[in-house]
Amino acid sequence: MAVRSDPSVGSSGRPSSDDAPRSDVSQRSAHDVVCIGNALVDVLAEASDHQLGELGLIKGTMVLVDGARSASIFETMGSTVEASGGSAANTAAGIAALGGRAAFLGRVADDSFGRSFLHDIRSIGVTFDPTPTTAVPGETVTGHCLVLVTEDAERTMATHLGVASEFGTADLHRGHLISAEVAYLEGYLWEQDAAKAAMREAIEIAHRDGASVALSLSDPFCVEHHRSEFLELIHNDLELVFANEDEITLLFGTAGFDEAVEAVAETGVLAALTRGDKGCVVVTPSGPVEVPAEPVDRVVDTTGAGDLFAAGFLFGMTHGLGPSDAARLGGVCAAEIISHVGARPLADLRALAIGVGLLD
């Protein structure tokens, strides 16, 4: 597995029960990455800064809301478009769109959102075999995320988790979990106690099978809520961490981004730190590497930018690219997703990657 075993990339030196190198193609797992997260359908509409203020929402962040609050925010929204979303699910879709083998673990109800989510993720080629949920009409709904897109293309989100809030160890499909080279977890899951416990188990299963574990810090709010746990994970359990500038600075409580990069470097974890149109910094064992952002004609909707960056990076790292090229591939995927409404790729990501010489 390139993230951990390829010496050219550098090993983080984490303990593993499986010392055999996994880079040999003949030994490759059934999935490159298993992504674990909240299964959500995005409900997108244009919004104004004024509207965000009236609703008490903070631009660029995600907030969890109950059904009633979700309904009252929905009331204020303009014409909507619905499309499958969910952070880790978007990443799985991106990996599949690049030609990678991804599985997804999450929880959906048997309603129209759930059927749509299931259809969409499978149709792009992701393996998803959810644990059936008990159907209590009107009481269990598939999670949905109200996405308010402002004129500056920034997205502000209010998520009603629905059945996703019940995600737990019962949803850890062991067959898929032990089949992957990397287990990718979204930080949003730490907001739920049952999911948090399940993630501890997922990390253990992944490591037992010699897989690497990657975590996305997801949102500054998640970092504020779970700072000590995330720090402990980085020091003890993770091979790879994804964060944006705000999240990583908040996590290490540093004065600025450069100091945060130094702090990450000291932990020895491989880190992909995104900075919007300033590109990203990959912290590798041989030092930090800056990678510029891919140019975009017109930024329409930044929903999914981080998720698709992770998709490109994870695909690259599990397909022989070094961290810089993997980050460039992440940038190509993020550039595609922010050029249109919605968080799932519309263009042929593989063709785009071939076009810029990253894949052949």
Residue that has been written with the tokens 């203020």 in this structure: 53
- Least distance to a copy of itself, CB of residue 78, Å: 5
Which of 27, 119, 136, 236 is close enough to bind a copy of itself by CB under 8 A? 119
Q: How far apart are the two ends of the chain, measured CA to CA in Å?
A: 20
CA distance linking residue 203 with residue 213, whole number of Å: 7
- Least distance to a copy of itself, CB of residue 82, Å: 4
Contact pattern for a copy of itself over residues 60 through 89, marking x by CB under 8 A: --------------xx-xxxxxxxx-----
CA distance linking residue 358 with residue 321, whole number of Å: 8
Residue that has been written with the tokens 């090229």 in this structure: 325
CA distance linking residue 360 with residue 358, whole number of Å: 7
- Least distance to a copy of itself, CB of residue 117, Å: 10
CA distance linking residue 155 with residue 7, whole number of Å: 39
Please tell me whether residue 342 binds a copy of itself under the rule CB under 8 A. Answer: yes
Please tell me whether residue 175 binds a copy of itself under the rule CB under 8 A. Answer: no
Which of 35, 36, 65, 93 is close enough to bind a copy of itself by CB under 8 A? 93
- Least distance to a copy of itself, CB of residue 174, Å: 27
Helices (H), 143-188: 174-177
**Quick one: 78 or 175, whose CB is closer to a copy of itself?**
78
Q: Which phi and psi angles does 104 have, rounded to 5°?
A: -130, 140
Interface stretch with a copy of itself, choices 17-25, 110-118, 186-194, 315-323 (CB under 8 A): 110-118
Please tell me whether residue 152 binds a copy of itself under the rule CB under 8 A. Answer: no
209, 178 Cβ separation under 8 angstroms: yes
Which of 6, 14, 46, 194 is close enough to bind a copy of itself by CB under 8 A? 46
Which of 243, 341, 352, 353 is close enough to bind a copy of itself by CB under 8 A? 341
In sequence order, which residues have a C-beta less than 8 Å from that of residue 251 and are 6 or more positions away? 217, 223, 227, 230, 231, 243, 260
CA distance linking residue 211 with residue 238, whole number of Å: 11
**Quick one: 8 or 134, whose CB is closer to a copy of itself?**
134
Binding site for a copy of itself (CB under 8 A): 45-46, 74-75, 77-84, 93, 111-113, 116, 119-120, 123-124, 137, 340-342, 344, 346
